A and B are shown apart, each in its own frame.
Chain A
Amino acid sequence: AGRGRVKDEL
């Protein structure tokens, strides 16, 4: 969680 967490889900 938090900054830079990769949002790989649409």
Chain B
Amino acid sequence: MNIFRFAGDMTHLLSIIVLLLKINATKSCAGVSLKTQELYLLVFVTRYLDLLYSYISLYNTFMKLFFICSSGCVIWYIREHKTVSQTYDSAQDTFRVLFLACPCMILALTVNHDFTVTEVLWTFSIYLEAVAILPQLVLLQRTKNVDTLTGNYVFLLGGYRALYLLNWIYRILTEPGYRQWIVWISGTIQTAIYCDFFYYYIKSWRNNERLSLPS
């Protein structure tokens, strides 16, 4: 474990806490894409299958369980909560997630480290996580004024992956033989997708104005 990876995990944890706080405090999920949340739950469930058969550390197990439960909780809020579910704008959240999930599954079946069920599903989760934020970014472009907490949520999500990039560079420099091409390439693409959001987020923050993404 290095500081970059720990900071990345904490940023990821914080992003989900910010999202849960926003939904719970405002009793509203306006601007939040249910599709992205469902994709994240699929990412966590397919990636953390090793919870069933291998133990790495208490930290590792706790964080995996937290990510699965918290994303499930967000989805419950948006789908079932009597007040919050009224604020979900399904007419705007229309990204065709199958256009993301199917190519990722086909790619996972062809490009992977091992052709076993758990390895293919794990690889699928790596590819899917790279594109899972797209429905959320599309929704932000459509809903003109993005509320601050939702903007912070997306910014923290991008920050977590950027910190993981630093973690991989650090591990390449300090751990001879450490190679994870699938994770590195997928993670770099994932961080690149955030770049234009980062640009508008920082610009709005510096000009002290509401964040709005150009459609």
Contact B114 A7 (CB under 8 A): no
> For the complex, what is the distance from the CA of A2 to the CA of B9, rounded to whole Å?
25
For chain A residues 1-10, which have a beta carbon within 8 Å of chain B? 1-3, 5-10
A residues within 8 A CB of B64? 10
Partner of B60, one of A1, A2, A3, A8: A8
Asked whether B203 is an interface residue with its Cβ less than 8 Å from the other chain, the reply is: no
> For the complex, what is the distance from the CA of A8 to the CA of B114, rounded to whole Å?
17
A residues within 8 A CB of B50? 7
Contact B56 A2 (CB under 8 A): no
How would you classify the secondary structure of chain A's contact residues: helix, strand, loop or mixed?
A: loop
Which B-chain residue is minimally distant from A1 (CB atoms)?
A: B113
B residues within 8 A CB of A3? 113-114, 116, 119
B residues within 8 A CB of A10? 9, 12, 60, 63-64, 67
Asked whether B124 is an interface residue with its Cβ less than 8 Å from the other chain, the reply is: no
Q: Could you tell me how many residues of chain B have their Cβ less than 8 Å away from some Cβ of chain A?
A: 22
Contact A2 B114 (CB under 8 A): yes
> For the complex, what is the distance from the CA of A2 to the CA of B122, rounded to whole Å?
12
B64-101 interface code vs A (CB 8 A; 1 in, 0 out): 10010000000000000000000000000000000000
Which B-chain residue is minimally distant from A9 (CB atoms)?
A: B5
Which A-chain residue is minimally distant from B48 (CB atoms)?
A: A10
Contact A1 B5 (CB under 8 A): no
B residues within 8 A CB of A2? 113-114
Contact A5 B183 (CB under 8 A): no
Which B-chain residue is minimally distant from A6 (CB atoms)?
A: B56
Report A9 CB to chain B, min CB distance, Å: 7
> For the complex, what is the distance from the CA of A2 to the CA of B189, rounded to whole Å?
23
Which A-chain residue is minimally distant from B164 (CB atoms)?
A: A9
Which A-chain residue is minimally distant from B1 (CB atoms)?
A: A8
Which A-chain residue is minimally distant from B67 (CB atoms)?
A: A10
Asked whether B144 is an interface residue with its Cβ less than 8 Å from the other chain, the reply is: no
Identify the 5 closest CB pairs spanning chains A and B, nearest first.
Answer: A1-B113, A3-B114, A10-B63, A2-B113, A8-B56
**Contacts A/B (CB < 8 Å), 5 sampled:** A1-B179, A7-B50, A8-B60, A9-B164, A10-B9
